[in-house]
Chain A
Amino acid sequence: AQSVAQPEDQVNVAEGNPLTVKCTYSVSGNPYLFWYVQYPNRGLQFLLKYITGDNLVKGSYGFEAEFNKSQTSFHLKKPSALVSDSALYFCAVRDAGGGFKTIFGAGTRLFVKA
């Protein structure tokens, strides 16, 4: 069975500082990994994905994530946070051989302070 853990309910960062939102996963096969962002009263928006290839993937709005197979992690990062990055972030995993079913983490709320 697939599972995703986002160990932090909330992350606080000052504007201009780097940010990291943590994610670990568990799948029986090879993982497809995703990050989504949700703004208030909106649906989730796709940020980036890891399917295969380079462990460092780049996505929208300057975000990137690093796939670490040995640590089963896929942490989201950004070199310099903006106040407008404040939102709810979801990590998600799908088993590459398991069809379309994607499991989402509980979400991490990011607050970027000016």
Chain B
Amino acid sequence: DAGVIQSPRHEVTEMGQEVTLRCKPISGHNSLFWYRQTMMRGLELLIYFNNNVPIDDSGMPEDRFSAKMPNASFSTLKIQPSEPRDSAVYFCASSQTDNYGYTFGSGTRLTVV
């Protein structure tokens, strides 16, 4: 298995532009998580899905952020419009059951200028 695959690895965009981050979880994992990592705030859970259904999106910072999981093998995190304070590393992770650890992707480093 290739693990959790995220794309792109790096994204530089101008303030106000739309940004879409993509994630392919491990086949057979039924839960998917989006985290954001910054020096100031550490790892923050943004949203998670179970069986493609959003379960908890209380960590999504504001309406500019949205996430979808149209099927078991794909998820997107969209920021529209982007702002410089959104600059961070965004991680996707997937898990098989609730007593398993997560498998993380390599992350997308987002820079908004």
Contact = CB atoms under 8 A, between A and B. Distances in A.
Interface of A: 32, 34, 36, 41-46, 49, 51, 90, 94, 96, 99-107
A39 to B, nearest CB: 11
B102 A46 contact: yes
A103 B50 CA distance: 17
A43 B55 contact: no
A100 B104 contact: no
B104 A45 contact: yes
A101 B56 contact: yes
B43 A101 contact: no
Given A42-B106, A100-B48, A106 B99 contact: no
B98 A99 contact: yes
18 contacts: A32-B99, A34-B102, A42-B107, A43-B4, A43-B91, A46-B103, A96-B98, A99-B56, A100-B31, A100-B33, A101-B48, A101-B55, A101-B56, A102-B102, A104-B35, A104-B45, A106-B42, A107-B42
Contact of A49 (B56, B101, B103): B101
Tell me the dominant secondary structure on chain B's binding face. Answer: strand
Nearest to A90: B43
A100 B101 contact: no
A51 B98 CA distance: 10
Most chain-B Cβ atoms within 10 A of its Cβ — which of A94, A100, A101?
Answer: A100
A40 to B, nearest CB: 11
Interface in B15-68: 31, 33, 35, 42-43, 45, 48, 50, 55-56
Given A34-B101, A90-B43, A106-B42, A100 B106 contact: no
A32 to B, nearest CB: 6
